[in-house]
Structure 1
Amino acid sequence: MRHAAAQATHPTAPTVSPAHALRRRALAQATVGIGGWAALGATGLGTTPAWAQRMPAPSAPATPITWPAADPVLAARHQRAFAGMAARIDAQLADVQSVVAVQRGHLAFEYYRRPGVAADSLQDTQSVTKSVLALLFGCALADGAVRGTNELVAPRLPDMLRISDEPRLRQLRFEHLLTMTAGWAGDQTAQRDRDDDLRQIVRRPFVAAPGARFAYDNGTANLLALALARAVGRPLADYARDRLFAPLGINRFDWRRGAQGHALGALGLWLPTRAMARLGELVQAEGRWAGRALLPADYVRRATERRNAGGAPLFAAYGYLWWVASTAAPRGASGRTAMANGYGGQWIYVYPPLQLVVAATSRRTPESMARGQAATLIRSDILNAVRRSGA
């Protein structure tokens, strides 16, 4: 996601020329890897505003997420697969800040850049927030707080229709928000004083009918967050804590709010890297955890299947706020690859053919975004190493 700075306090992001935009697209297409996804963060060129970069205030120590020990055979294969991986990251992938790889329900590899990053460090996930928002919609669906993805949005936020008489607002369904097909032009900037302001979101001009075309748009995700909070009748962070995070053992997080006091949907969620991996495991398990269905399996399948062709900035297909790719898989294994991606190289990568989940965080800079080191690590190092080891 590209971030313009907050109004009146920081300069705006530089304008990207048409020629530069073409070069960026060519680079993205040239670096397409496993399943056709680009080795770039879901972001454009720009700087992250200071309000998004501040670390959350320290909270009470949390119980760390753990996994059961692997059997000796699998443990030996993991050791073989990841031999020398930490040294390579240290020496050659300076943008990468943390990595957690979980295979077959066991912690296979873990890395934190020292000094400064630890297992309990909260990481700014950037647009990974969008994919977690999609999971929360599934929780609300299971709870009966929303009736389905085809439900109209306006009855949940009737102020929309008082703010604007644009007829296309009446046509908006949750399906359009989840698939980034609301009809607004794509906007990948973030400005704290407007991002959770309903007036600013809905007064933007439509460029297409709802459902007609994909456009990666922060405003659409922020509108979904507002509507979902209204549907569940609680602040979104509270609902996430009780309904999603606590059952998964995630008891340390921070969810930034906009100037109006609402949790953002486009960005703002801070999590430990292990928590990111645990969320990937939930997706891999199609919403079931510890014998309990946290969200409907059919919804998770739809969320991580191609709903439309997608496009910029990742140039991959799109599901429900998850990037998706078809992947060759052995008989009986799922061929879906699901990806949550954020500015600079924040990833949750779910690869069912190997029963593998990888979470990675990176520096949040334009340079880190352009280099795509975390994506290269996942695609060229981790997946290939696990395949060769037979794990």
Structure 2
Amino acid sequence: MASESYSQTNDLLPADAIANPLHKANIGKVTFMDGNIPLDQYQASDFLKSYLLAYRSDLNIRVFMANSVVNYLHQLAPGLSAEQLLEKGNLQFAFYIDNQFIYKENINPGCTFGSGGSKKSSTTFRVPLTSTKGEDWWAMYLWDRFKGYGGENALTEGTHLLKIELRPYLKLEENTEPLVGNLIAEGQVQLVIKTPKVTAKEIAIQKIMPESGWELSNLPFNKKKIQALNAEIAQHNLKEITSIVVIREGKLMLEEYFNGANRNTLHDTRSAGKSFASTLMGLAVKDGYIKDENQTLNSFYDLKAFANYDPKKDEIKIKDLLTMSSAFEGSDANSESPGNEENMYPSENWVKFTLDLPIEKSKTNGGQWDYFTAGVVLLGDMLNQKVPDGMEKYADEKLFKPMGIDNYQWQYTPQKVANTAGSLQMTSLEYAKYAQLYKNNGEWKGAQILPAEWVQKTLTKQIQIPGRDQQFYGYLFWNKTVNIDGKAYETFYCAGNGGNEFIIFKDLPLTIIITSKAYNKPYAHAQADRIVKDFILPSVLKP
């Protein structure tokens, strides 16, 4: 039996009594089930021996333990309280395919086991590994990471044995190896993998329908590369892609839709919408409503009226917010940061939330890049204050109408201001107009919409992104270089959760729009990179 005896140490807290006969008979087992079968309805006949793992499926596990998580952790560090144990430890999941180790992960101490489940007392829990029910669980991201770190490659066509092992772990010090306890539960199931059959229609390059609003490109391109791309999307090797649009020499070369999307779909491209705050700031500077990007925060707000006043706040420039380099103690990459966006969204006033933040002593304004959504909300509020009739109307009159963009939808802050944090939804062809505006140096159909000087500042390597080799940030635009066949092709791009990217090539007459719904997936942007590097660029460069 997987569960080991810990008789040498008494329990810290009373665990739930094991009264369910199925639980009694299966202590120490990880069982597999199709969907969420409630414990009081779950039977041994529901245990999966074999499962067809389709692209959309509902593979769940139910774990039967001999004790609670906190009591297992107590065996590793008897001197710690329950709260200390649960802050420093949880369960370790180990995955094997065909008895070969693939991946293990110590799940975050904050991971819980659903409604009614308590790590202090529960001895059984259920989590979904895959789901078609709209569930959003840490276990599903764990499953994605297992697949990304070898599981996908191991699960080839055919039948494979999946085994999962659970152990308790404790990480007592930040830079030390965690303590890992004995095996407390394990289980296995045969997974049947079938490659989806792809039809000729799915592979075929989609015909561009009339009334696109674009002149069509007649330049040659490698159609086999695009057909191969479509096959990868149809087989779900590239997941949740909803559209790909390619503009070449200012003309529409490719317009394709997938997974239920079409030309009229409004795509939620999440943080790709942040870049519009930069555009509107450039327009407001041109029109004289904003002096320039060196204007400081104290010219918009009485900063002493907010919490945690610091003279450094007075010195924060619009440019520091545009380049994600202000001294605010705010980092979306750090879940413990007080300015993390997840702390902002539940607050009643996002602007007050941001201005109340303390200054991070180790930061200097303009000195260090740190992704900070709340700062972009401030930019939106500044614009909303200064432009006539508010930012939403200004955007419509000064940017969208002149470009013929009329099918879009804002989200709003709690104060009903258009949300510059992201999720400005548009059609793919209208996103293409926006990206092409920058490719055209701010010009659209003979009219200079956005000053060329602002475009050049925006598409400049303003600041290095830490931890990313040769990647930089402009004015709310990202920068990276694509290397192919020994040649480097520099890009600036808008990027949003899910793998959404609007890509502008610096030295190629090429603009690419990729929309995707792979939200929070570890592969989201990697697969966007692959679409560009393995398919679209070779198609254009080697027609």
Work out whether the TM-score is over 0.5: yes
Q: Which whole-Å CA distance do the structure 2 matches of 1:142 and 1:335 have between them? A: 31
Post-superposition CA distance 1:139-184 (Å, at most 9, x none) = 112211112111123222x243322432122111111111111112
Distance verdict in 2 for CA 1:377–1:212, change over 3 Å: same
Partner of 2:324: 180
1:116-127 to 2 correspondence within 5 Å? Answer: 116-127=260-271
One-letter code of the match for 1:205?
Answer: P
Aligned to 2:243: 98
Deviations 1:196-244 (A, max 9, x none): 5222111112112322211110111111111111121333222221111
1:87 to 217, 224, 231: 231
Q: Which has the higher contact order (CA 8 A, sep 6+)?
A: 1
> Structure 2: how far apart are the matches of 1:83 and 1:146?
48
| 1:155 maps onto 2:299 in alignment | yes
1:136–1:211 Cα change, 3 Å: same
Choose from 443, 446, 449 the match for 1:288: 443
Q: Distance in 1 between matches of 2:421 and 2:397?
A: 21
Whether 1:189 aligns to 2:361 is no
- Equivalent pair of 2:499/2:525 in contact (CA under 8 Å): no
Contact 1:138–1:296 (CA<8 Å) still a contact in 2?
Answer: yes
Q: Is the 8 A contact 1:345 1:368 kept in 2?
A: no
Superposition TM-score, scaled by structure 2 size: 0.55
Residues 1:255 and 2:395 aligned together: no
Amino acid aligned to 1:161: K
Residues 298 and 336 of structure 1, relative CA distance in 2, 3 Å threshold: farther
* Residues 80 and 246 (structure 1), Cα distance of their counterparts in 2 relative to 1, 3 Å cut: farther
Higher helix proportion, which one? 1
1:382 alignment partner in structure 2: 536
Residue 364 to residue 326, structure 1, CA distance change in 2 (3 Å): closer
Please state how far the C-alpha of 1:357 moved relative to its aligned partner: 0.5
Runs of 4+ displaced beyond 4 Å: 11-14, 78-81, 312-315, 326-329, 368-371
- Cα distance in 1, alignment partners of residues 137 and 364 from structure 2: 29
Task: Please report how far the alpha carbon of residue 295 of structure 1 lies from its aligned counterpart in structure 2 after TM superposition.
Answer: 1.3
Give the aligned partner of residue 367 of structure 1.
521
Alpha-carbon spacing, 1:201–1:352, altered in 2? closer, same or farther (3 Å): same
- Contact 1:304-1:337 at 8 Å conserved across structures: no
Equivalent runs, 1:32-71 vs 2, <5 Å? 65-71=212-218
Looking at structure 2, the residues matched to 65 and 388 of structure 1 have their Cα atoms a distance apart, in angstroms, of 26
Q: Report Cα offsets for 1:88-145 as digits up to 9, x if no partner.
A: 322232321111111011111111114x311110000111111121111111122111
Q: Does residue 354 in structure 1 map to residue 477 in structure 2? A: no
Structure 2 residue aligned with 1:337 = 491
Structure 2, gaps ≥5 residues long: 1-134, 150-209, 333-339
Compared CA separation, residues 275 and 161, structure 1 to 2 (3 A): farther
**Equivalent position SS for 1:349:** strand
Query: For the residues of structure 1 that align with 2:389 and 2:518, how far apart are their CA atoms?
Result: 31
The aligned residue for residue 384 of structure 2 is 229
Shift in Å, 1:335: 6.8
Say which SS state the counterpart of residue 268 (structure 1) adopts: coil
Q: Given that residues 304 and 319 in structure 1 are in contact (C-alpha distance below 8 angstroms), is that contact kept between their aligned partners in structure 2?
A: yes
> Match for residue 213 of structure 1?
368
Q: Does structure 1 conserve the Cα–Cα contact (< 8 Å) formed by 2:471 and 2:481?
A: no
2:354 to 196, 201, 208: 201
Alpha-carbon separation, structure 2, partners of 1:266 and 1:195 = 15
Question: Does structure 1 conserve the Cα–Cα contact (< 8 Å) formed by 2:350 and 2:374?
Answer: no
- The one of 253, 275, 293 equivalent to 1:108 is 253
- C-alpha change, 1:12 and 1:110, in structure 2 (3 Å) is closer
Distance of 1:109 and 1:301 partners within structure 2: 27
Tell me the residue number matched to 2:129: none
Among 430, 434, 438, the residue aligned to 1:279: 434
Computing the radius of gyration over CA atoms, which structure comes out larger, 1 or 2? 2
Query: Contact (CA 8 Å) 1:193, 1:258: kept in 2 or not?
Result: no
What letter matches 1:224 in structure 2?
L
> After superposition, where does 1:16-27 map in structure 2 within 5 Å?
none
TM-score (norm 1): 0.76
Letter in 2 for 1:68: E
Taking the aligned partners of 1:272 and 1:313, their CA distance within structure 2 comes to: 31
SS where residue 353 of structure 1 aligns?
A: coil
Contact 1:305–1:336 at 8 Å: present in 2 too?
no
- Matched to 2:303, the amino acid is M
Task: Give the alignment's Cα RMSD to 1 decimal.
Answer: 3.2
Structure 1 counterpart of 2:400, one-letter code: F
| One-letter identity of the residue aligned with 2:433 | R
1:48-68 Cα shifts (integer Å, max 9, x gaps): xxxxxxxxxxxxxxx965211
> 1:83, CA displacement in angstroms?
4.3
User: How far off is 1:370 after superposition?
Assistant: 5.0
Aligned partner of residue 512 in structure 2, secondary structure: strand
Percent of aligned positions with the same letter in both sequences?
A: 24
In 2, the alpha carbon distance for the partners of 1:241 and 1:12 equals 35
Q: 1:357 to 1:244 in 2, by over 3 A?
A: same
Decide whether aligned partners of structure 1 residues 353 and 266 sit closer, same or farther in structure 2, where only a CA change above 3 A counts.
same
CA distance in 1, matches of 2:357, 2:375: 11
Letter in 1 for 2:217: A
**CA-to-partner distance for each residue in 1:285-324, whole Å, 9 max, x for gaps?**
1111111111111111111110010236898201100011
SS in 1 for 2:542: helix
Distance (Å, rounded) in 1 between the aligned partners of 2:538 and 2:276: 27
CA contact (8 A) 2:478 2:493 kept: yes
